[in-house]
Amino acid sequence: MSAEDTEQDAPAPGPAPRRRTSGGIVGAVRETVLVVAVALVVSLVVKTFLLQAFFIPSQSMEQTLDIGDRVVVSKLSPGPFDLHRGDVVVFSDPGGWLGQTAPPQRGPVGSVVADALTFVGLLPEDSDDHLIKRVIGLPGDHVVCCDASGRLTVNDTPVDESDYLAKGVAPSETAFDVTVPAGELWVMGDNRAESADSRYNRDKPHGGFVPIDLVVGRAYAVVWPLPHWSWLGTPDDFDSVPGRTGAK
């Protein structure tokens, strides 16, 4: 038999077998679940160690922050980075600063979803046990209000707070003269007439001061609503104040 005869007698190749799609669907589902899981883990790590969102429930920080604003807080301050006078910080209630607040009304499913999204950092923390104020005094600072010109002084140096104080609001209508203990902060709201801050909690635990250990982090940006988007940097109002410039 010749080579030519052999090629003629060979059976013609049949149609290619159809690919099974079940494996492709399972693979796609597995990949989707993996991507979602990784995204949640990354979000949880970011929330735990780097960033966290918070909701502004009151007018105590106007005109810097309005009711309903969402701010992003860096957890690297205090820690790797120092806190400075003028920083806006979120901290846990030192004890008795906040009254009872009504929990938001959600159904069972809504509560589970909201709790899960908050846990991984995709929704802002509620403000039931957190406050947001501006750092005025660091450990060791002597903070007084007010001098003959009605200005707040830190370490005997007058501070011009016009960059952030609410319009038409005095630095303080309540006189005080305090020295900040080691490991604590003296904090005040920008809307001094509507802020139950260090001045009004001197009969509470810690005497109105905030332990640095209770500080969640420094607020560095307003991210919602979009028309309010802005950076929350450290103002230069305290640059001339002598003494310690940062605290961890």
Check 60, 172, 195, 198 and give the catalytic one: 60
The answer to whether 135 touches 87, Cβ cutoff 8 Å, is yes
Q: Which pLDDT belongs to residue 47?
A: 47
Backbone angles phi, psi at 133, to 5 degrees: -145, 180
At 23, is the pLDDT very low, low, confident or very high (cuts 50, 70, 90)? low
| Whole-number pLDDT of residue 81 | 87
Domains, the chain, with CATH or none: 50-97+126-236 (2.10.109.10)
pLDDT of 49 over the 90 cut: no
Under the banding of pLDDT at 50, 70 and 90, the label for residue 94 is: very high
Catalytic site residue 248?
A: no
pTM (predicted TM-score):
0.75
DSSP per residue over the chain, as a string? --HHHHHHHSPPP-PPPPPPSHHHHHHHHHHHHHHHHHHHHHHHHHHHHTEEEEE--SSTTTTTS-TT-EEEEETTTTTTS-B-TT-EEEEE--SSSS---PPP---HHHHHHHHHHHHTTSSPBPSSSEEEEEEEE-TT-EEEE--TTS-EEETTEEE--TTTSPTT--S-SS-EEEEPPTTEEEEE-SSGGG---GGG-TTSGGGG-EEGGGEEEEEEEEEESGGG-EE----GGGTT--S---B-
For residues 72 and 223, the answer to whether their CB atoms sit within 8 Å is: yes
The 10s digit of each residue's pLDDT in 126-176 is 556 899 999 999 999 999 999 999 999 999 999 999 999 999 999 999 999
Catalytic residue among 47, 75, 133, 195: 133
Task: Clarify whether 133 is annotated catalytic.
Answer: yes
Mean pLDDT over 65-90 rounds to 93
Choice among 7-11, 53-57, 58-62 with the minimum mean pLDDT: 7-11
Residue 5: is its pLDDT beyond 50?
Answer: no
| Per-residue confidence (pLDDT) for residue 248, from 0 to 100 | 82
For the stretch 195-243, pLDDT in tens is 999 999 999 999 999 999 999 999 999 998 999 999 998 999 999 999 8
